[in-house]
Amino acid sequence: MKVAFQGRHGAYSESAALQLFGKDIETVPADTFEDLHKMVIDGSVDRGVIPIENSTAGSILENYDLLLKYRLPIVGELKLQIDHCLIALKGETLETLTKVVSHPQALEQCSIFFENNPQIEKKPFFDTAGSVERIAKKQLKGTGGIASAFAAQVYGLSVLKQPLANFPGANSTRFFAIQKNSPPIDEALHTKTSVAFILGNNKPGALYSCLGCFAKHDVDLIRIESRPKSGSPWEYVFYADLAGNPLLAHVKMALDELGAMAEFILLGSYAKGESRGVEF
């Protein structure tokens, strides 16, 4: 099985793919999230794994938009603890480093380290694992990267400090697995469902009525997110995660009622994701 992820080998997304589908899969890097969706559509990979929400940085909004644009069904979920490490060439120490490169979010999430080490310059880079890849390929002395211990293992570098983040253990990312075709819904296995809906008439109380469908039928609404509707200024798409699946009578009644009031899209039904640490 080929599974695409965005970034470079050693990325947190690659670790999520390996945990979702097993270590025997072939992981395929994509430069952008849109490239990843296109790879799934054209069949060059079997599935893709995308981050959808981070516990500190919030939603990955681009991927919400791409879920609606390409309509690739969600077939799995995983919550991965993000454990940042300071990584450098073997033989380096904290005292020999003059700069650290990584994704801007990773640098910000490790801001206390830089406050305590003002002699070390922080430099933004496009990707966490990509920063480690660059250090390894160019043999950059005096330069560290921030990524996972998995990335250090992939590129044969040393972990100088772990954990590195301001609040160790408090940073997690939720990932979705996507594929080209919708699998059959398993009433026992699929305990979570994601939908999108667009209000037909933006009249007072319209959103309240839509959300009321879930309360009326005792459906647990876990999360809701709104995004601008592409090409329609000041109109919005609402994304919702709910407990259960459309085969359950109370969920079906809620979704049928929602469909009568709004344009409704089923994004996927899947097993509720486990919380795990980076293992690969």
Q: Which residues are catalytic?
A: 173, 175
Each residue's pLDDT tens digit, 66-85: 999 999 999 999 999 999 99
Domain count, the chain: 3
**Domain shared by 48 and 175, yes or no:** yes
- Answer yes or no: is pLDDT of 280 > 70: no
Pairwise CA distance, residues 34 & 91, whole Å: 39
**Domain shared by 176 and 58, yes or no:** yes
**Domain shared by 175 and 53, yes or no:** yes
Pairwise CA distance, residues 110 & 232, whole Å: 39
Q: Rounded to 5 degrees, what angle do the CA atoms 120, 171, 157 make? A: 50
- Answer yes or no: is pLDDT of 232 > 90: no
CATH number of the CATH domain containing 258 = 3.30.70.260
Pairwise CA distance, residues 231 & 77, whole Å: 30
**Domain shared by 68 and 31, yes or no:** yes
Pairwise CA distance, residues 177 & 20, whole Å: 8
**Domain shared by 37 and 176, yes or no:** yes
239, part of any domain: yes
Strand partners, 93: none
**Domain shared by 28 and 155, yes or no:** no
**Domain shared by 43 and 9, yes or no:** yes
Q: In Å, what is the CA distance from 117 to each residue of 89, 125, 180, 191? A: 19, 19, 47, 46
Q: What's the mean pLDDT in 22-34? A: 97
What is this structure's pTM?
A: 0.93
276, part of any domain: no
Which residue range forms the structural domain that includes residue 71? Answer: 2-81+171-180
Pairwise CA distance, residues 90 & 275, whole Å: 32
